[in-house]
Structure 1
Amino acid sequence: MPLDTTFPTIIQGGMGVGVSGWRLARAVSTTGQLGVVSGVALDVVLARRLQQGDPGGDLRRALDAFPFPEVAERIWRRYHVPGGILPGEPYRPVPRLGLRPHSGRTELTVAANFAEVFLAREGHDGPVGVNYLEKIQLATPAAVYGAMLAGVDYVLMGAGIPSEIPGLLDALSAHRPAEISVTVAGAESGRRHTVGVDPAALYGPLRPPPLKRPRLLAVVSSDVLAVYLARRPETRPDGFVVEGPVAGGHSAPPRGRLRLDEEGEPLYGPRDRVDTGRIAALGLPFWLAGGQAGRRGLARALRAGATGVQVGTAFALCRESGLEETLRRRLLDAASGGTLPVRNDPGASPAGFPFKVASLPGTVADPDVYAARPRLCDMGHLRAPYLKADGEVGYRCPAEPVETYVRKNRPESDTAGRRCLCNGLVSAIGLGQRRLDGYAEPALLTLGQDLGFLRDLPGDYTAADVVAHLLHESEGGLG
């Protein structure tokens, strides 16, 4: 079976916060495959990298290319620290996500997504994508607009139902004001809350030329959702990434009543198996994800009618990964030696989805480290809006202080075992917050549960090695 050259055969997954950063995406894209940057919390990532002094000058170069120079200069003046902040000095916070318009937050989000995609696209003509979580609705319009300003080729979106994203892309490609619905717990049926972005507030009186509309790939875990999205033009994506439960990061919960195995992990059954034939019948390209980096994974996907595969963990452990280098090497050594448990924890994520936690000593996976961490929610990307008794919208997160969460009319049981993914994932890329009392945020690490591919890769490998491995393993299995 010949490869379809219309679309990439391999998609590098958009992982964590900054793990799939611009360096990794660019390395994959230069091979001709789809390199993907994570679009999650890029406002924090940009602000903290600037406060580190922008070593190498990459962000200065990206901001110099930003089409709205006055915005770029405001961000530079606000966050850049020549030579970097002192050891132990806390990072300056960024405005938290919310429903109320905030020009500084919007500018930072747009510019951060522009910068990450710009740097990923620099110096080659390979395709570049950006990955978002539908669950983080409050950031989506501004984030997507920034990526589109940089010429992003693909938008990938999971952890929810991205039914309004095709319309968002259409509007933003013409620089029109655009908005999406926001889920507000307790809101009356029929009352719509929205968040949006008005490009004119950034570009001023002279409208720029139209933008390229990127292709949208919806990340799904069921053929039912794929059929639902494909049935109407206004909700139809340009393709699907079909993700299995062993993939890293968040995964869909099992259908039906939640049952756990003896290790406390969700049990998946026949109802959770995806009918790839039904997805193929939709006539849209699709890629299989989750445990696809092993031998003959790509060949099996192609035989099932897929265009290719999405692979995350293999790229997360390569040299160009955005993981802090010491953590990356510890993860790689433990995974290669077969001593790295990766648990699908049903209660770790404040988002309510099962989340893969790599159990590396000294990280938030360690019960002692988790217990010693002061509970706080100062980044808030996974906060959920809810309607307060006075009719105003508030925000809550089950990883925030227990008494604070309970005051917001939620049971204490919701908070048990919840990890602060925001702080933990940012710490994993070397940007963890340092508190005034000297406390440093520990890392939280996520990988997929299928690590068998490591036996077929060099000891300390590159992104190009992963691509070569995947394409080589498909040879002989395509007939």
Structure 2
Amino acid sequence: MSGPVFRPDRNGPRIIQGGMGVAVSGWELARAVARTGQLGVVSGTALEVVCARRLQCGDPDGAVRRALAHLPLPGIADRIVRTYHVPGGKAPDAPFRPVLRYSLRPSRALAELTVAANFAEVFLARDGHDGPVGINYLRKIELSIPFACYGAMLAGVDMVLMGAGNPADLPALLDGLSRHEPVALPVRVQGATSADGEFAVRFDPRELAAAQPPPRRPGFAAIVASADLAEALAADPVTRPDGFVVEGHTAGGHNAPPRGPRRLDGLGQPVYDDRDEVDVARMTGLGLPFWMAGSYGTPEALSRVVAAGATGVQVGTAFALCRESGMNPRYRREILRRVVRDDVTVRTDPRASPTGFPFKVVDLPGTLADEEVYARRDRLCDLGVLRSAYRRPDGRIGYRCPAEPVGMYEGHGGRPANTDGRRCLCNGLMAAAGLAQRRADGEPEPAVVTAGTDFTGVRRLLATMPPGAETYTAADVVRFLLDTTADA
């Protein structure tokens, strides 16, 4: 996969489809968007688990196995299929086989699975067209990043996008991987001091692909919530991205905390103000393409920001509710029904995410938004995607998550107060995409469903659909956003 870096310019693409949730922005959605010429984006979150679970569900259309058959790393695909594929699919009440959890020194099998899963997702998203495809990662989920990026690059991904933390290390990481050099991604270890030295997760791609030519270096878009961070990244050639996504606090999923003193409104939501609005003129002055995100899902919003100097917009919620979305159809239908009735409630919960970032949760019955459902669920941490590294008293590195059992978290040196209200997003977001784990009592994990707060574009889209239509397609979203004749 040699070739030039995919470098977007001020002329497009006008639309970036958000890389949402766990498998909500799956390959089918990204491919549908990319076919229109806009940037389709797959979610890179926990793809190693997603891939393993799709295989255990039988991979009924054979897509995962077809993609893995093209992985240019001999033997790895066969080992993964032998380990996880269940012909005909596992029994509905049977649990999924677990996937190993990440540490600073992950096992060879986990590294291989991560590379292969990211390759497969991007391969399928790019299959059958020449439109651009990106992949979205969270900086907070750091231990898997080098392996995940390499797998996506092997499949020819055009753009890597990253938010939920400072992505300053990504340009150099992508440079190294594109030269088949050993790379190291710095990892924050809670409780460590300067005397402990630096911690990093390391990967030498030649250990997996000694005979494979280096992959093409993709473009990189940093997801930021402030012009200050954008300016700092752009000022240093080592950290300078190829573009920015400027994400406002009304966007779904994780949000940056408000700037200034911590304040909560009457519903317990963090209060944002003018300090959290990004100055478009400052972004324009950086000389790099940028896209605005968060309540920009209408043609008027797109036209307005382009006129102000932006390249375009990133849109999430409208795509999350379209036909090709990976969201469990049960939740998608219920949200769309509520959109029509204008009674969707989305809460910015400052405590839900173990990351410490505010997280938007849709209020749906039977999900973890319901306090009774949350209280009934036994706390456990069996996926560990959002675990953080910490320094033990003896100097060794341990891993903990505020959503794990309180006693376990306290035993790991954490403060019990940090566990209050924490939701297991790893299991909850898997459930939202129809990949819920089954517990010993036969009950599935309850879902966590996220969306942005602005459903204006979704409501207007639904109004254009034929009578009786429950949803719309990704292509409908693109046509709607690019329609310069649309009336507000």
User: TM-score, structure 1 length as denominator?
Assistant: 0.96
Of 339, 343, 346, 2:350 maps to 346
| Equivalent runs, 1:283-302 vs 2, <5 Å | 283-302=287-306
How far apart are 1:302 and its partner, in Å?
A: 0.6
RMSD: 1.5
> Which residue of structure 2 lines up, in the alignment, with residue 468 of structure 1?
479
- Structure 2 counterpart SS, 1:370: helix
What one-letter code is carried by the residue in structure 1 that aligns with 2:199?
H
Q: CA deviation at 1:438?
A: 1.6
1:476–1:446 distance in 2 versus 1, CA, 3 Å: closer
Using the TM superposition, give the Cα deviation of residue 177 of structure 1 relative to its aligned residue in structure 2, in angstroms: 1.5
Q: Displacement, 1:148?
A: 0.2
**Residue 366 of structure 1: aligned partner:** 370
Once the two structures are TM-superposed, the CA of residue 476 in structure 1 deviates from its matched residue by 9.6
1:120 aligns with 2:133: no
Q: Residues 422 and 253 from structure 1, CA distance in 2 versus in 1: closer, same or farther, beyond 3 angstroms? A: same
2:252 aligned with 1:241:
no
Once residues 6 and 72 of structure 1 are traced to their aligned partners in structure 2, the CA distance between those partners, rounded to angstroms, is 39
Could you tell me whether the CA contact under 8 Å between 2:367 and 2:446 is conserved in 1? yes
2:152 paired with 1:147? yes
Q: Is the 8 A contact 1:336 1:454 kept in 2?
A: no
Partner Cα separation in structure 2 for residue 69 and residue 442 of structure 1: 38
Unaligned runs of 5+ in 2: 1-7
Whether 1:386 and 2:383 are equivalent positions in the alignment is: no
Structure 1 position 106 matched with structure 2 position 111: yes
Residue of 210, 213, 223 corresponding to 1:209: 213
**Shift, 1:258, TM fit:** 0.9
Gap runs ≥5 in structure 1: none
Alpha-carbon distance change, 449 to 235 in structure 1, aligned in 2, over 3 angstroms: same
1:446 aligns to 2:457 (yes or no): no
**Other-structure match for 1:26:** 31
For the residues of structure 1 that align with 2:293 and 2:460, how far apart are their CA atoms? 19
The DSSP-based 3-state class of the residue aligned with 1:89 is coil
Aligned identity (percent) is 59
* Aligned counterparts of 1:217 and 1:474: Cα–Cα separation in 2: 30
Look up the match of 1:317: 321
**Residue in structure 1 matching 2:230, options 226, 232, 240:** 226
C-alpha displacement of 1:4: 6.5
Q: What's 1:172 paired with?
A: 177
Provide the residue aligned with 2:5 in structure 1. none
Question: Which residue identity is paired with 1:309?
Answer: V
Give secondary structure in 2 for the equivalent of 1:37.
Answer: strand
1:127-146 CA-to-partner distances (Å, cap 9, x unmatched) read 00000001111010000000
Pick closer, same or farther for the CA change 1:278–1:390 going to 2, 3 Å: same
Check conservation: 2:10, 2:311, Cα contact below 8 A.
no
Measured in 1, the distance between the counterparts of 2:440 and 2:351 equals 30
User: What is the distance in 2 between the residues matched to 1:82 and 1:183?
Assistant: 41
Residue from 198, 204, 215 that aligns with 1:192: 198
1:294: how far off?
2.7
2:254 matched to 1:250?
Answer: yes
Query: Does the 8 A contact of 2:10 with 2:310 survive in 1?
Result: no
- Superposed displacement of residue 473, structure 1: 4.4
> Residues 375-406 of structure 1: CA distance to partner in whole angstroms, max 9, x if unpaired?
00100111110000010101111100011111
* Offset of residue 475 of structure 1: 7.0
Q: Secondary structure at the match of 1:138?
A: coil
Instruction: Confirm whether residue 134 of structure 1 aligns to residue 139 of structure 2.
Output: yes
Q: Confirm or deny: 8 A CA contact 1:142 1:196 kept in the other structure.
A: no
1:446-477 per-residue CA deviation (whole Å, 9 max, x = no partner) reads 00001111221135110001000100147799
The equivalent of 2:4 in structure 1 is none
Matched, 1:9 2:20: no
- The letter for the 2-side match of 1:199 is P
Match 2:57 to one of 52, 55, 61: 52
Where do residues 86-105 of structure 1 align in structure 2 (5 Å cutoff)? 86-105=91-110
Going from structure 1 to structure 2, the CA distance change for 1:303 and 1:76 (only over 3 Å counts) comes to: same
* Higher alpha-carbon deviation: 352-361 or 185-194: 185-194
How many angstroms apart in 2 are the aligned matches of 1:331 and 1:426? 18
Q: Which moved more, 1:362-371 or 1:325-334?
A: 325-334
* Pair 1:305-2:309 in alignment: yes
Task: Specify the SS of the correspondent of 2:97.
Answer: coil
Helix, strand or coil: the match of 1:65? coil
With structure 2 as the length reference, what TM-score do the two structures score?
0.95
CA–CA distance in 2 between the matches of 1:101 and 1:244?
Answer: 34
The 1:476/1:214 distance shift into structure 2, 3 A limit, reads farther
Provide the secondary structure at the position in 2 that maps to 1:180.
strand
* Residues in 1 aligned to 2:364 and 2:106: alpha-carbon distance in whole angstroms: 40
Q: Which residue of 2 aligns with 1:39?
A: 44
2:331 and 2:345 mapped to 1: Cα distance?
15
Residue 38 of structure 2 aligns to a residue whose secondary structure is coil
* Amino acid in structure 2 at the alignment position of 1:91: F
Query: Paired residue for 1:277?
Result: 281
**Conserved in 2, the CA contact under 8 Å of 1:296 and 1:474?**
no
Report the CA distance between 1:29 and its aligned residue.
0.2
Give the distance between the partners of 2:33 and 2:182, measured in 1 at CA: 33
